Amino acid sequence: MREIEKLHLWYEENKRPFPWREERTPYRVWISEMMLQQTRASVVIPYFLHWMELFPDVETLAKAPLETVIKTWEGLGYYSRARYLHEGAKQIVEQFGGKIPDSREALSTISGLGSYTVGALLSFGFGKKVPAVDGNVARVLSRYFAIEENISKAKVRRTIEEKAALFLDDQEPWITAEALIELGASVCLRKPRCIECPLRDGCQALSKGIAESLPIKNIPVPITILRRAVAVVESQGRFLVQKGEVGKVMADLYEFPYFEMEGHTWTPREMEIETMRQLGFKVEWVKTLEETSHTFTRFKAHLLPFLLKTEGRELGGTWVEKENLLQLPFSSGHRKIAGRIILHADSFLNFCGHHSGPSLNDRSSPILRQYGPSCDCSNPDHSEAAKIQESTREQYI
């Protein structure tokens, strides 16, 4: 049995049941391939299904507001992919009558389509004999052909693509292309499971005993750690947010204002001072919330949220009611903060007797015992509560 036949047989017996493998169309292939970049397939499944409900075809996607597209993408990361899809859909409608073209030359003019995605579209979407070389395939073929050169180099990458093209079956090339991806994702891993591989008899790296040392790649860029103080500012039931500028990493995503902490973790007073300096209005600390984090590109940001309050109706910026926060597309770390605010803001903010929260003198209140009051009114009955509040400041809860 030929190697390709072994590979096809293995694929039919072991392929994972993904929704984008059902009812293949160029549009569904395009969406799934963009989502699968830098993202695990198991994570993509619910996003893909939801996307196809909202944007079932190119025309619907092209007509959708960008903010709706970004919101639908929320949580997948690398948001430029969503912007490319939206812009690409508009291009396809305007330049190709709403039909995804089936030539490499035309596809290469569409926003966000690189060599791999073009190959995947031609192979999986149109059934053409075209290689689709992603990281999984590059790993498989660098081992199969024992390519002992840095696969990050353009010349070596071209060599792998040429070998991939020759490896494809004449009758069902798309099956070979998909099987190579599946093999790399499930068997030919960083630590290869060679005993399970249908290509082990012809694998040159295995025969040389160097499978685990391949492929050779560039040393990964180290992750940079960021520590940020997040200003969750409330005024009359609304919260201040800001939208990422075009061209920035978080473009079109909403976040709470934040400041870089250098050297040490800020105290509530430091946060009050910096917020007043940066935003231009007076704030008062209410509570320091639980730290969270999120990772993007080569950074990991640790976010320390400070719940602050201010007064006034003429404040600048974008102020959003609590119930509407999660209708906006947030970056992942700030979305976690927004979710906590929606669940707990009333508990954190409404302690004064003339508000809807528990009485400040109700020592049985679990909310009061845990968080302390946030009232700044002049009622003398609140003097004891003020002492409790001061003690909670010291604990940074």
- Residue 39: phi and psi, rounded to 5, are -140, 135
Q: What per-residue confidence (pLDDT) applies to 312? A: 65
Hey, what amino acid is at 345? A
The DSSP output letter for 88 is H
Q: What per-residue confidence (pLDDT) applies to 395? A: 29
In Å, what is the CA distance from 56 to each residue of 25, 51, 77? 11, 7, 21
The structural domains of the chain, ordered by start, are 1-128 (1.10.340.30), 129-174+183-219 (1.10.1670.10), 224-349 (3.90.79.10)
Helix (H/G/I), strand (E/B), else coil: 352? coil
Structure tokens at 35: 């989502």
Residue carrying structure tokens 């008062």: 284
The DSSP output letter for 22 is S
How far apart (Å, rounded) are the C-alpha atoms in residues 309 and 317? Answer: 15
Q: What per-residue confidence (pLDDT) applies to 354? A: 33
pLDDT tens for the chain, 397 residues: list them: 588 999 999 999 999 999 999 889 999 999 999 999 988 999 999 999 999 999 999 999 999 999 999 999 998 888 999 999 999 999 999 999 999 999 999 999 999 999 999 999 999 999 999 999 999 999 999 999 999 999 999 999 999 999 999 999 999 999 999 999 999 999 999 999 999 999 999 999 999 999 999 999 988 889 999 999 999 999 988 999 999 887 778 888 999 999 999 889 999 999 999 999 999 899 999 999 999 998 888 889 999 999 999 986 556 789 999 999 989 999 989 999 999 888 876 766 664 333 333 333 333 333 333 333 333 333 333 333 333 333 322 322 2
Q: What per-residue confidence (pLDDT) applies to 263? A: 81
The string over 269-298, giving b where at least 16 C-beta atoms fall within 10 Å of a residue's C-beta and e elsewhere, is ebbbebbeeebebebebbbbbeebbbebee
Q: What per-residue confidence (pLDDT) applies to 316? A: 73
Q: Could you tell me which residues come within 8 angstroms of residue 49 by beta carbon, excluding any fewer than 6 positions away?
A: 19
Q: What per-residue confidence (pLDDT) applies to 344? A: 77
Reference 299, options 230, 226, 227; nearest CA is 226
The string over 154-191, giving b where at least 16 C-beta atoms fall within 10 Å of a residue's C-beta and e elsewhere, is eebeebbbebbeebbbeeebbbbbbbbbbbbbebbeee
Q: What per-residue confidence (pLDDT) applies to 194? A: 96
Just list the catalytic residues.
Answer: 33
Q: What per-residue confidence (pLDDT) applies to 350? A: 61
